[in-house]
C-alpha cells in the first residue's frame, strides 16, 4: 500500500489534559473505501483522537490532512463542512426537539424562505427507514430510549453526505438486529468509497466489519494492523498487555456457583405492577442472592419495568413487598430508603453529574440516603471514592477530577461506583457495562455475580445477550410492553430467549 | 494527588480572584480620583468614612445576593426580591409605627406592637413569599422567571395595600439601631450580614445541602434518580431567598426610618443578580460561591457610590453603571478563560468544551 488513496492522515498528534497525556505522538491513516477500527481500553485516547479530527479538541502538535490538504478544524461546526460526519460517543442531540428536527438541525431544507417541515419529516422517515426503523418523527427525542436516540444520531450522520464517517461506539446500546442493519449500510458506504472510522469495545464487531485496526494504549499508538492478520488474542494482548482467556474462564465458573447459591427468599416481590401506557401489569420476584435478568428487544418494556420498580414512574396498579412486608414505592427516594439502587442506561442525562467531581459523584447516592444532616466528612468521602476508583480501575489523575472530563467508559464506572457505594440490597443495573472495555467488563460481570453470592438481589438488563446468559440465574422475557415468559437455570440460552420472543405469549 | 489538590485550590481561588480584582480596581480608582476616600475618622467611638459607608449601604444587597446565589445555583432565578423587600419594610413600619407620647411631660416613642413581633411577622411574610415561589416553581414546575415575576408584580401591590398607599414614617428610636446603629465602632448591620453569612456557610459546607444543591443545579434528572428530594431543596432555596429579602427590607426601613412601598427595593433584584454574576457564579446553575456573590455585592455598591461621588449627571448614571459592569464582566470572563488555559486549571474549560460537543 502506498500513499495513494489516503483519505485522512493524522501525523504525530499530541494532546494533553491536566495530569493526562491523552494522545502522545499518535499517527493514524484512513483510506478511501476502508472501515478502520480504533481499539483500546477505557481512557486510551480513542475519543480524543476523533475529537481532534473533528475540531472539538485542539491538538498541541501534529498535523491533519484530508485528501492531502492540511486541515485544522477549530470548532465542531467546521468538520461537516469539510466532509466529516460524526456520531459522538455521548449522543449529542437536543432531547427537547423532535426526532426529525434532530436529524436536520442546522441543515433544514428551505422553501419560500421558510423551513419546509413536510420535507424534513419525509426525509427523516426515509433516513430512518434505511436503518429499518419506523418512528413517529414528530415525537420528542427524549421520549425514546437511549438505543433509539443512538439510532437517530446515526441516521443523522448517515444523511450528511460526507467523505469520512466517524462512529464512536455507536453500537453500545444496540442489539444484534440493529447492529446488522448498521453494518449493512456501512458496507454500502464503504463500497461507494467512503472512509469509516469505527470505535467499539465489541471485538466480534471489529472482526465482522473492519479492514484495519489501530490500537491505542495510554494515549500511545501501539500500531496499525490489517484485521485479517491479527487474531483476537493478539488484539487483546496488544490492547491491555495481558491474556484475556484467563478472565473468561473464571467468569464461567463463577456463574455456575452463583446459580447454585440463589435461595428461595424473595427480597422483592410485585404483583400486577404496571403503569398505563408504559408497561402492562406484570408479576416479578427477585430473590436474595440471585441475578434476575430482564430480556427483550428495543422498546419491549424491560427498562420501563425497571423504572416502575424503582419508582421513577409511579406505578398505577399492583402491590409490592420487600422482605415480605407490603411497601409503597412512589419515588426513587422511597426505593433507595428500602435498599434499592438503580444504575440508569442513560448515563449522561440520568446518571452522572458532569460538573461535579468523581468524589462527589460517587458519594452522592449514599449521602442522599443518609440525608442532609449526616454529612460524610471529607476524609470519609475520599476513602469511599478512592476505594471504588481502585476497585473499578477508574483511570483519572485525581478523585477531584470533574466526571465530565473522564472518558466514556470511566464515567460509566463512576456511575456504577455511586450505586455500589450505597451497599444496596437490590441493585437494578440497566446496561451496566455500556461503553466499558473488555477487561473491565469481565471485572464488572464478576462483581455482579459476587454481589449475588453475598446475598444481594440483582436485576440486570443488558442488550448483550451473552452477558445476560453469563450472569443471570433467572430471566424474564418482555415483548411489546408485556412480560411474556420466564426462563431459569439451564433453560437460559440465547436461542431460548429468541424463541420466547418469537413465540410471543408463553 | 498532591499537585491535584493544589490545582483544585487554584481553581477555587480563581473564582474569588476576579471579583476581588474588580473591587481592587474600583478602589484604586477612587483612591486617585476621590479625595479622602480612604479616610476613616473616629467620631464618638464610631468609625466613619466612605469605605465604612459602602459596606454599610451594601448590607441589604449582600443579604439578597446570598439568597439569590442559592436560587441561581439551583438552576432558577428570583426576580421577586425587590417586592418582598417592600412588603417586609411595609409590615415592619406599619406594625412599629411609633407614637409620640408625653409621660410626665417627657417625650417618649411607643411602638404599636413590640418591635420583635413586628420583625418576626415581616420575616414570616417574606418566607411565605419565598414558599409561594417554591410552590410555583418547585412543585408546579412553572418557569422560574415567570413564577417569580408573579410575586414581583403582585408583591408590590400587596406592599402598597399594607401601607394604604402612604409613605409610613417610623417614630421609634430602638428600631433605627438596626440600619444605622453602631456596635463596637462598626455599623450594626455589618454584624448581621456576617452572622447570616456564617450560618449559610455552615449550611452549605457542613451539611450536604451544598452538595445536593450543586448536583441539582447541574443535572436535575440525575439528582432525582439518585434519591435527592429535588423539590424540597428548591423550595428551601426560594424560602431562604425570601428570608434574605425580608431582612434586607427591615434594614432599609430602619435606615430611612420609613417604608415607601412604591420605591423601596425597586430594581434591586437586578443588582442582586448582578452581584451573583460578578461574584463569578454561572447563571446556568450548579457550582456556586456565596462569598463570591457577597464580594460581588460590594463591587456593585462601590461602583454605585463611586459614580455618584465622581459627579456623573443623574440622567446618565445608569448608562455609566451598565457600561462599567459590561467591562468588568468581559474582563472577568476573558481573563478567566486565559488563566484557565494554563495546564493546571484548564479542566473547567475542558468541561465547557465537552459540553459544547455534547449538547
Ligand atoms: N476534557 C478533558 N479534560 C481532562 N481530561 C480529559 C478530557 N477528555 C478526555 N480526558 C482524558 O483523556 C484520556 C483519554 O480519554 P478518551 O475519552 O479519549 O478515552 P477513550 O479511549 O475514548 O475511552 P472510552 O473507551 O472510555 O470511551 C482519559 O484519561 C480522559 O480522562
Ligand atoms: Mg471514548
Residue B123: its pLDDT value, please?
98
B321 in a structural domain = no
Helix axes B81-96, B144-163, angle to 10 degrees: 20
The pLDDT, as a whole number, for residue A245 is 60
- Please give the helix or strand (H or E) that residue A196 lies within, else none: strand A195-199
H helices of chain B, in order, are 2-33, 50-73, 81-96, 115-134, 144-163, 173-180, 188-201, 209-218, 220-225, 230-256, 268-278, 290-310, 317-341, 347-358
When CB atoms are compared, the residue of A348, A350, A372 closest to B207 is A372
Residues A213 and A263 in one domain: no
For residues A105 and B345, the model is more confident at A105
Mean pLDDT for the stretch of residues A222-249: 81
B124's CB contacts (< 8 A; 6+ apart) are none
**Gap between the Cα atoms of A76 and A67, Å rounded:** 19
Do A248 and A237 lie in a common domain?
no
pLDDT given at position A31:
95
Asked if B12 has any chain A CB less than 8 Å from its own CB, the reply is no
As given in the structure block, the three cell numbers for residue A66 are 484530508
| Cα distance between residue A411 and residue A437, in whole Å | 12
Size of chain A in residues = 506
Residue A203: pLDDT band (50, 70, 90) is: very high
Does residue B357 register a pLDDT over 80?
Answer: no
Whether residue A18 is found in the same domain as residue A165: yes
Residue B322 falls inside a structural domain: no
Alpha-carbon torsion, ordered A311, A316, A318, A324, to 10 deg: 30
Look at strands A279-287 and B258-259 and give their pairing. Answer: unpaired
pLDDT of residue A254: 52
- Would residue A344 count as lying in a domain? no
Check A16 against B214: CB less than 8 A apart: no
State whether A354 and A324 are in the same domain. Answer: no
Span B3-30, average pLDDT: 73
Ligand 1 pocket, residues with Cβ under 6 angstroms:
A 17, 20, 22, 40, 42-48, 89, 395-396, 405-410, 435, 437; B 347, 350, 354
Q: How many domains does chain B have?
A: 1
End-of-domain residue from the set A398, A424, A450: A424
Please report whether residue A409 resides in a domain: yes
Q: Which residue's CA is minimally distant from atom 2 of ligand 1?
A: A405
* A7 has pLDDT over 50: yes
Q: Which atom of ligand 1 is nearest to the CA of A48?
A: 18
Q: Give the Å distance between the CA of B211 and the centre of ligand 1.
A: 25
Q: Could you identify the atom of ligand 1 that is nearest to the CA of residue A219?
A: 14
User: What is the residue-averaged pLDDT of chain A?
Assistant: 89
From chain B, the residues in CB contact with A405 under 8 A are: 347, 350-351, 354
Report the C-alpha gap between B315 and B256 in whole angstroms.
23
Task: Measure the CA–CA gap between B276 and A289, rounded to whole angstroms.
Answer: 51
**Which 3-state string (H, E, C) describes A462-496?**
CCCHHHHHHHCCEEEEEECCEEEEEEEHHHCCHHH
C-beta of residue A39 within 8 angstroms of C-beta of residue A236: no
pLDDT tens, residue by residue, B238-269: 999 999 999 999 999 999 999 999 999 999 99
Asked whether the beta carbons of A463 and A174 are under 8 A apart, the reply is yes
Nearest CA to ligand 1 atom 3: A405
- A221 occurs within a structural domain: yes
pLDDT at B356 over 50: no
In this predicted structure, what is the pLDDT of residue B3?
A: 53
Structural domain contains residue B23 = yes
How many alpha carbons lie under 13 Å from residue B187 in its C-beta half-sphere? 23
Which pLDDT belongs to residue A236? 87
Instruction: State chain A's maximal CA–CA distance in angstroms.
Output: 72
Confidence at A128, pLDDT banded by 50, 70, 90: very high
The pLDDT value recorded for residue B60 is 96
CA dist., res. A10 & res. A1, Å (int): 17
Q: Residue B288: pLDDT above 60?
A: yes
Residue A457 has pLDDT above 50, yes or no: yes
Q: Closest partner residue to B225 among A350, A370, A372, by Cβ?
A: A350
Total domains in chain A come to 3
Q: Which residue has the CA at smallest separation from atom 29 of ligand 1?
A: A43
pLDDT in tens, A355-414: 999 999 999 999 999 999 999 999 999 999 999 999 999 999 999 999 999 999 999 999
Are A195 and A100 members of one domain? yes
Q: How far is B147 from chain A (nearest CA, A)?
A: 21
- The answer to whether A411 and A352 have CB atoms below 8 angstroms apart is yes
**Residue B359, pLDDT above cutoff 60:** no
DSSP type of residue A314: P
- Predicted confidence (pLDDT) at residue B17 exceeds the cutoff of 90: no
pLDDT tens per residue across span A70-124: 999 988 888 888 999 999 988 788 888 999 999 998 888 888 888 888 889 999 9
Q: Which of A262-271, B69-78, B280-289 is least confident?
A: A262-271
Residue pointed to by grid coordinates 442532609: A372
Whether the pLDDT of residue B333 is over 80: the answer is: no
**pLDDT at residue A439, as a whole number:** 84
Residues of chain A contacting B211 with CB distance shorter than 8 Å: 356, 360, 364, 367, 375
**Nearest residue on chain B to A93, alpha-carbon basis:** B359
Q: Does A335 touch chain B (CB under 8 A)?
A: yes
pLDDT in tens, A462-492: 988 888 988 998 999 998 888 998 998 888 8
- Give the Å distance between the CA of B220 and the centre of ligand 1: 25
Asked if the model's pLDDT at residue B220 lies above 50, the reply is yes
What pLDDT is stored for residue B336 in this prediction? 55
Residues 127-166 of chain A whose Cβ lies under 8 A from any Cβ of chain B: none
Q: Which residues constitute the domain of residue B108? A: 17-313
Look at residue B344 and tell me if it is in a domain: no
Q: Residue A232: pLDDT above 60?
A: yes
Other residues' Cβ atoms within 10 Å of the Cβ of residue A32: 17
- Span A23-34, average pLDDT: 96
What does DSSP say about strands B41-43 and A325-327: parallel, antiparallel, or unpaired?
Answer: unpaired
Last residue of one domain, picked from the residues A379, A404, A424: A424
B224 assigned to some structural domain: yes
Q: Please report whether residue B354 resides in a domain.
A: no
pLDDT in tens, B163-207: 998 899 988 888 999 998 889 888 999 999 999 999 999 999 999
Judged by a CB distance cut-off of 8 A, whether residue A386 touches chain B is no
Flag whether pLDDT at A196 surpasses 60: yes
Query: Is pLDDT of B342 > 50?
Result: no
- Residue A248, pLDDT above cutoff 70: no
First to last CA, chain B: 31
Look at residues A424, A440, A458 and tell me which one is the last residue of a structural domain.
A424
- Quick one: average pLDDT of A251-271? 64
Residue A225 in this model has a pLDDT that exceeds 90: yes
**Do A151 and A224 fall into the same domain?**
yes
- For residue A293, give the 3-state DSSP assignment: strand
A95 touching chain B per CB within 8 A: no
State the residue range of the domain holding A462.
242-339+425-506
Print the SS3 string covering A236-255.
HHHHHCCCCHHHHHHHHHHH
| ipTM of the complex, rounded to two decimals | 0.88
Summarize pLDDT for A258-267 with one digit per residue, the tens. 444 445 678 9
Whether A106 and A139 map to the same domain: the answer is: yes
Q: Does A335 contact B4 at a Cβ distance shorter than 8 Å?
A: no
In a domain, A458, yes or no: yes
A4 exposure class (CB count in 10 Å sphere: 0-12, 13-18, 19+): exposed
Compare B326 and A84 and report the one with higher pLDDT.
Answer: A84
Lowest-confidence segment of A314-323, B126-135, B145-154, B324-333 by average pLDDT: B324-333
Domain annotation covers residue B356: no
Percent of chain A with pLDDT over 70: 94
pLDDT in tens, B23-63: 998 899 888 888 888 888 888 878 888 888 899 999 999 99
What DSSP string describes A256-288? HHHHHH--S-EEEEEEEEEETTTEEEEEEEEET
Which among A415, A465, A473 is positioned nearest to A444, based on CA atoms?
Answer: A415
Which residues in chain A have Cβ-Cβ distances shorter than 8 Å to B206? 375
What would the grid cell of residue A287 be? 430473590
Question: Is A141 within the bounds of a domain?
Answer: yes
**A372/B212 touch (CB, cutoff 8 Å), yes or no:** yes
The band of B337, judged by pLDDT with boundaries at 50, 70 and 90, is: low
Residues of A in contact with B343 (CB under 8 A): 16, 18
CATH of the domain at B172: 1.10.3470
Query: Could you tell me whether strands A474-479 and B41-43 are parallel, antiparallel, or unpaired per DSSP bridges?
Result: unpaired
Q: Which long-range contacts (CB under 8 A, 24 or more apart) does A177-185 make?
A: A177/A132, A177/A297, A178/A131, A178/A147, A178/A151, A178/A298, A179/A205, A181/A131, A181/A132, A181/A133, A182/A131, A182/A154, A183/A208, A183/A209, A185/A130, A185/A131, A185/A158
Same domain for A288 and A406, yes or no, is no
The angle, 0 to 180 degrees and rounded to 10, between the axes of the packed helices B209-218 and A358-370 is 120
How many angstroms separate the alpha carbon of residue A48 from the centre of ligand 1? 6
Note whether residue B226 is domain-resident. yes
Using alpha carbons, select from A400, A377, A17 the residue that is nearest to residue B7. Answer: A400
The alpha helices in B100-208, defined as continuous H runs, are 115-134, 144-163, 173-180, 188-201
Burial A120-152 (b: 16+ CB within 10 A, else e): bbebbbebbebbebebebeeebeebbbbbbbbb
Which atom of ligand 1 sits closest to the CA of residue A407?
17
If asked whether residues A76 and A42 sit together in one domain, one would say: yes
**Same-domain check for residues A282 and A321:** yes
Q: Name residue, grid cell 455589618.
A: B190
Same-domain pairing of A62 and A150: yes
Q: Is A1 contained in some domain? A: no
Residues A321 and A379 occupy one common structural domain: no
Residues in chain B: 359
CATH code: domain of residue A153: 3.40.50.300
* Residue the block writes with cell 402598597: B160
Residue A77: what pLDDT?
85
Amino acid at each position: 500500500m502506498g500513499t495513494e488513496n489516503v483519505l485522512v492522515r493524522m501525523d504525530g498528534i499530541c494532546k494533553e489534559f491536566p495530569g493526562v497525556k491523552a494522545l502522545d505522538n499518535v499517527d493514524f491513516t484512513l483510506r478511501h473505501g476502508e472501515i478502520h477500527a480504533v481499539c483500546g481500553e477505557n481512557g486510551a485516547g480513542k475519543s480524543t483522537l476523533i475529537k481532534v479530527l473533528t475540531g472539538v479538541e485542539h491538538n498541541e502538535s501534529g498535523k491533519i490532512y484530508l485528501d492531502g490538504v492540511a486541515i485544522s478544524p477549530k470548532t465542531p461546526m467546521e468538520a461537516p463542512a469539510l466532509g466529516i460526519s460524526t456520531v459522538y460517543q455521548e449522543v449529542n442531540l437536543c432531547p427537547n426537539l423532535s426526532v426529525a428536527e434532530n436529524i436536520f438541525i442546522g441543515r433544514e431544507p428551505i422553501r419560500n424562505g421558510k423551513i419546509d417541515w413536510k420535507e424534513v419529516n419525509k426525509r427523516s422517515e426515509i433516513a430512518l427507514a434505511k436503518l429499518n426503523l419506523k418512528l413517529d418523527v414528530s415525537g420528542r427525542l427524549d421520549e425514546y430510549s437511549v438505543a433509539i436516540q443512538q439510532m437517530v444520531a446515526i441516521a443523522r450522520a448517515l444523511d450528511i453526505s460526507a467523505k469520512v464517517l466517524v462512529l464512536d461506539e455507536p453500537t453500545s446500546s444496540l442489539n444484534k438486529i440493529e447492529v446488522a442493519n448498521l453494518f449493512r449500510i456501512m458496507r454500502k458506504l464503504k463500497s461507494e468509497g467512503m472512509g469509516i472510522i469505527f470505535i467499539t469495545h465489541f471485538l466480534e464487531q471489529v472482526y465482522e466489519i473492519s479492514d484495519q485496526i489501530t490500537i491505542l494504549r495510554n494515549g500511545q499508538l501501539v500500531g496499525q494492523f490489517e484485521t485479517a492478520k491479527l487474531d483476537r488474542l493478539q488484539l487483546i494482548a496488544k490492547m491491555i498487555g495481558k491474556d484475556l482467556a484467563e478472565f473468561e474462564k473464571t467468569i464461567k465458573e463463577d456463574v455456575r456457583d452463583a446459580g447454585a447459591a440463589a435461595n428461595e427468599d424473595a427480597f422483592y416481590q410485585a404483583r400486577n405492577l404496571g403503569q398505563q401506557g408504559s408497561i402492562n401489569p406484570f408479576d416479578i420476584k427477585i430473590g436474595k442472592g440471585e441475578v434476575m435478568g430482564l430480556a427483550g428487544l428495543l422498546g419491549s418494556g424491560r427498562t420501563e419495568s425497571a423504572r416502575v420498580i424503582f419508582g421513577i414512574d409511579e406505578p398505577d396498579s399492583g402491590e409490592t413487598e420487600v422482605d415480605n412486608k407490603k411497601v409503597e414505592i412512589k419515588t426513587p427516594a422511597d426505593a433507595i430508603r428500602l435498599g434499592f439502587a438503580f444504575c440508569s442506561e442513560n448515563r449522561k442525562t440520568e446518571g452522572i453529574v458532569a460538573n461535579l467531581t468523581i468524589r462527589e459523584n460517587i458519594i452522592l447516592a449514599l449521602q442522599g440516603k443518609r440525608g442532609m444532616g449526616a454529612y460524610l466528612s471529607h476524609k470519609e468521602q475520599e476513602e469511599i471514592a478512592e476505594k471504588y476508583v481502585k476497585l473499578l480501575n477508574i483511570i483519572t489523575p485525581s478523585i477531584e477530577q470533574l466526571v465530565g472530563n473522564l472518558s466514556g467508559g470511566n464515567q460509566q464506572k463512576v456511575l456504577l461506583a455511586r450505586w455500589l457505594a450505597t451497599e444496596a440490597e437490590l441493585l437494578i443495573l440497566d446496561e451496566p457495562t455500556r461503553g466499558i472495555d473488555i477487561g473491565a467488563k469481565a471485572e464488572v460481570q464478576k462483581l455482579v455475580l459476587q454481589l449475588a453470592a453475598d446475598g444481594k438481589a440483582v436485576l440486570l438488563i443488558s442488550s448483550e445477550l451473552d452477558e445476560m446468559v453469563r450472569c443471570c440465574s433467572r430471566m424474564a422475557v418482555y415483548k411489546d410492553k408485556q412480560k411474556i415468559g420466564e426462563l431459569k437455570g439451564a433453560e437460559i440460552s440465547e436461542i431460548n430467549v429468541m424463541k420466547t420472543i418469537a413465540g410471543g405469549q408463553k | 494527588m498532591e499537585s491535584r489538590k493544589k490545582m483544585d485550590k487554584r481553581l477555587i481561588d480563581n473564582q474569588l480572584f476576579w471579583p476581588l480584582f474588580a473591587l481592587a480596581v474600583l478602589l484604586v480608582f477612587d483612591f486617585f480620583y476621590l479625595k479622602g476616600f480612604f479616610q476613616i475618622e473616629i467620631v464618638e467611638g464610631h468609625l466613619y468614612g466612605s469605605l465604612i459607608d459602602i459596606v454599610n449601604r451594601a448590607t441589604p444587597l449582600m443579604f439578597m445576593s446570598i439568597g439569590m446565589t442559592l436560587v441561581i445555583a439551583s438552576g432558577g432565578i428570583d426576580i421577586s426580591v425587590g417586592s418582598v423587600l417592600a412588603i417586609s419594610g411595609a409590615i415592619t413600619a406599619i406594625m412599629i409605627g411609633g407614637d409620640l407620647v408625653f409621660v410626665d411631660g417627657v417625650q417618649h416613642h411607643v411602638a404599636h406592637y413590640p418591635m420583635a413581633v413586628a420583625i418576626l411577622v415581616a420575616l414570616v411574610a417574606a418566607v411565605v413569599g419565598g414558599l409561594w415561589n417554591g410552590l410555583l416553581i418547585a412543585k408546579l414546575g412553572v418557569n422560574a422567571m415567570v413564577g417569580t415575576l408573579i410575586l414581583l408584580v403582585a408583591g408590590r401591590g400587596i406592599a402598597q395595600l399594607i401601607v394604604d398607599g402612604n409613605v409610613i414614617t417610623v417614630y421609634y428610636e430602638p428600631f433605627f439601631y438596626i440600619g444605622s446603629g453602631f456596635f463596637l465602632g462598626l455599623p450594626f448591620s455589618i454584624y448581621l450580614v456576617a452572622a447570616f453569612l456564617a450560618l449559610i456557610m455552615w449550611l452549605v459546607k457542613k451539611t450536604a445541602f451544598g452538595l445536593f444543591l450543586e448536583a441539582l443545579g447541574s443535572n436535575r434528572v440525575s439528582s432525582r434518580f439518585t434519591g435527592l428530594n429535588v423539590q424540597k431543596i428548591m423550595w428551601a432555596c426560594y424560602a431562604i431567598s425570601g428570608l434574605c429579602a425580608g431582612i434586607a427590607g427591615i434594614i432599609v426601613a430602619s435606615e430611612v426610618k420609613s417604608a415607601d412601598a412604591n420605591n423601596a427595593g425597586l430594581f434591586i433584584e437586578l443588582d442582586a443578580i448582578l452581584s451573583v454574576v460578578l461574584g463569578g457564579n454561572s447563571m446556568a446553575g450548579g457550582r456556586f460561591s456565596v462569598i463570591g456573590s457577597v464580594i460581588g455585592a460590594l463591587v456593585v455598591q462601590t461602583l454605585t457610590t463611586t459614580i455618584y461621588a465622581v459627579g456623573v449627571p443623574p440622567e446618565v448614571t445608569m448608562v455609566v453603571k451598565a457600561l462599567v459592569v459590561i467591562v468588568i464582566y468581559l474582563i472577568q470572563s476573558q481573563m478567566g478563560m486565559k488563566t484557565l488555559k494554563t495546564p493546571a486549571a484548564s479542566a473547567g474549560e475542558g468541561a465547557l468544551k465537552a459540553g459544547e460537543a455534547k449538547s
